[in-house]
Amino acid sequence: MRLAIRAVGLGLIAALALVGCASASSAPSASPSPSPTASPKPVAISIKGFAFNPATVDVAKGTTVTWTNEDPINHTVTTGTPPPSGPPLPSGASPTPSPSLSTGDGRINSGRIQATSTFSFTFNEVGTFTYFCAVHPRMVATITVK
Ligand SMILES: [Cu+2]
């Protein structure tokens, strides 16, 4: 019985010594936690050849995405469902003069992004953002915010 108590006592001392060592060695290296203002790295998407590149992007909440129009014509970044392209016009028919552009679902709408210009948006809400070009509704892409 007495031996058992001594063994427990020794074990306790050993444990305390270990804890002491551990805290002594880790205490000086403790540094302040990383700044909470650190924001996710920005993401770049190019608009080139009538396509968004990359077309599928996953980003963290708070990420700023910048689209750069590398085509010589205007494009838009518009969230929502693209309007139907409609049937081809009969030969000889003139297209509707300057149709107004779809504004999508209103969450993001860049308006016309001129050639070589950029458009940026910061995603502060999680969710899936499907977007298209209102000038060329077949240009579609998706951003998933997590
Ligand atoms: Cu376009």
What is the model's pTM?
A: 0.67
CA of 47 to the centre of ligand 1 (A): 8
Neighbours of ion ligand 1 (CB under 5 A): 75, 133, 135-136
CA of 91 to the centre of ligand 1 (A): 24
Q: How many domains does one find in the chain?
A: 1
Are 66 and 118 in contact by the 8 Å Cβ rule? The answer is: yes
CA of 104 to the centre of ligand 1 (A): 14
Tell me, yes or no, whether 60 lies in a domain.
Answer: yes
- CA dist 24 → 10, 17, 31, 33, 123 (Å): 21, 10, 14, 19, 44
Q: List, for residues 119-138, the tens digit of each pLDDT value.
A: 999 999 999 999 999 999 99
Q: List, for residues 92-108, the tens digit of each pLDDT value.
A: 655 555 568 899 999 99
State the average pLDDT over residues 65-76.
98
Torsion of CA 95, 131, 138, 77, to 10 degrees: 60
Q: How far apart are CA 68 and CA 48, in angstroms?
A: 9
Which domain CATH number covers 51? 2.60.40.420
Q: What is the pLDDT of residue 42?
A: 98
According to DSSP, the residues that pair with 128 across neighbouring strands are 144
CA of 135 to the centre of ligand 1 (A): 5
CA of 13 to the centre of ligand 1 (A): 74
Domain that holds residue 72: 43-84+101-145
- pLDDT band, very low/low/confident/very high, at 11 (cuts 50, 70, 90): very low
Q: Higher model confidence: residue 51 or residue 11?
A: 51
Q: What is the pLDDT of residue 84?
A: 79
Q: How many CB atoms lie within 10 A of CB 119?
A: 21
